[in-house]
Structure 1
Amino acid sequence: MEITENAALIVVDVQEGFEEEAFWGPRNNPGADRNIAGLIDVWQASGRPVVFVRHDSPKPESPLRVGRPGNGFKGYVEERRGKGGGPELLLTKSVNSAFYGTPDLKEWLDRSGIRQIVVAGIQTNMCVETTARMGGNLGYEVFVPLDATYTFDLTGPWGWTQSADELARATAVSLHGGGFAKVVSSAELIAAAE
């Protein structure tokens, strides 16, 4: 795996509100936060660009709503912001894709000549997957370190339910098998970036 010197790490929605288990339900991948932190550290140490994405939910009941404590980044992300040697961007959004945020992610990436992105964060099958799909559609080479993402059990139509692990696997198969992104491990990315 080749990781370019200007590959951007996009850290999606790693916010305190996702700690509210009573709202979201059971999650998977308890090691995700450690893996996300490791990716940020390597990207910052190498001077590569990092994009911190925050979801500003317009829904009154959401733990991610602006003005609620859950809207803020988790502590380990907040303490890393501004510490890297490379470019950094804070992007806010109110929908699933970071490509529909402010400032314009595509414009920022293109202006910097970035063609390779790594998408990590929360939730695997929602904002991570949507951002990765759009990145692939826009022609970027996209990597998704599955172990640096997590999600929650979910109920859909007709009472169908899927566990967080099942949803993560479905996302991995759709992204990788569908050609939107290369689904890898954080260790593989770290090794390639170092």
Structure 2
Amino acid sequence: MPATPALLLVDLQRCMAEPRPVPRNNPDAEAHLAALLAHWRAQGWPLVHIRHISRDPASGFAPGQPGAAFQAAFEPQLHEQVLEKNVPDAFASGALERWLRVRGLDRLVIAGVISENSLEATARSAGNLGFIAQVPEDACFTFAKRDFRGRPRSAEEVHDMAMANLHGEYAEVLSTRAVLDRWA
């Protein structure tokens, strides 16, 4: 069996669970995320909780804001690694890469939010840095938004494009079930 992968859980904070005025995709993402987390914990495998801390005091991700806290279902345990970031890419500060390299971890499973933002930025950097990454697409979600030309795009379209951007070049995109079967 190949080396054990580290699970990176990206931005599973309270403000991501708050209702939004625009629709989101993957309504079962939290159940898939919980399954991944439970599997990694049961195996005692490495995992990293990545938390976005905004520099904008008006942001729901700002320090001290209730939205910046982890969602109860994804609260890190005391022995689990927590890394903070101020930009979408969790690798930008260098702390994540150092943490992984020191432990000899070169295989990653990356899940969380937002598909085309922090999740995609982190997975792109993982691939660029030579990590072997998998993204369980049903354990990620995003929201509807307008494209560059102002056309409305559904959350599914935004998510699917983010996954297309990643698959084959930066990461292998597959289902949570496929990830769990592979790492059973």
Q: Deviations over 1:108-159 (max 9, x none)?
A: 1111000100100011111010000000000000100000000011124332
Return structure 1 stretches of 4+ with deviation > 6 angstroms.
Answer: none
Number of residues paired by the alignment?
184
The answer to whether residue 164 in structure 2 is matched with residue 167 in structure 1 is no
Q: Name the residue aligned to 2:174.
A: 184
1:32 alignment partner AA:
A
**Cα separation, 2, equivalents of 1:27 and 1:140:** 29
Counterpart contact for 2:8–2:108, Cα < 8 Å = yes
The answer to whether residue 71 in structure 2 is matched with residue 74 in structure 1 is yes
Q: Secondary structure, in 3 states, of the residue corresponding to 1:53?
A: strand
**Cα separation, 1, equivalents of 2:52 and 2:12:** 9
**Cα separation, 1, equivalents of 2:22 and 2:12:** 17
Q: Secondary structure, in 3 states, of the residue corresponding to 2:167?
A: helix
Q: Name the residue aligned to 2:11.
A: 13
**Cα separation, 2, equivalents of 1:66 and 1:57:** 7
**TM-score, with structure 2 as normaliser:** 0.93
Is the alpha carbon distance of 1:141 and 1:132 closer, same or farther for their aligned partners in structure 2, counting shifts above 3 Å? Answer: same
**Cα separation, 2, equivalents of 1:164 and 1:65:** 25
Q: Deviations over 1:141-191 (max 9, x none)?
A: 0100000000011124332221110011101111114x1100011111111
2:150 alignment partner AA:
G
**TM-score, with structure 1 as normaliser:** 0.89
Q: Secondary structure, in 3 states, of the residue corresponding to 1:157?
A: coil
**Cα separation, 2, equivalents of 1:3 and 1:70:** 37
Q: Secondary structure, in 3 states, of the residue corresponding to 1:99?
A: coil
Q: Name the residue aligned to 1:52.
A: 49
Q: Cα offset for 1:3?
A: 5.5
Kindly report the root-mean-square deviation, in angstroms, between the aligned alpha carbons of the 2 structures: 1.7
Aligned pairs for 1:36-115 (under 5 A) are 36-78=33-75, 81-82=76-77, 88-101=80-93, 104-115=95-106
Structure 2 residues without counterparts, runs of 5 or longer = none
Q: Cα offset for 1:59?
A: 2.1
Structure 1 residues without counterparts, runs of 5 or longer = none
**Cα separation, 2, equivalents of 1:99 and 1:48:** 20
The answer to whether residue 183 in structure 2 is matched with residue 193 in structure 1 is yes
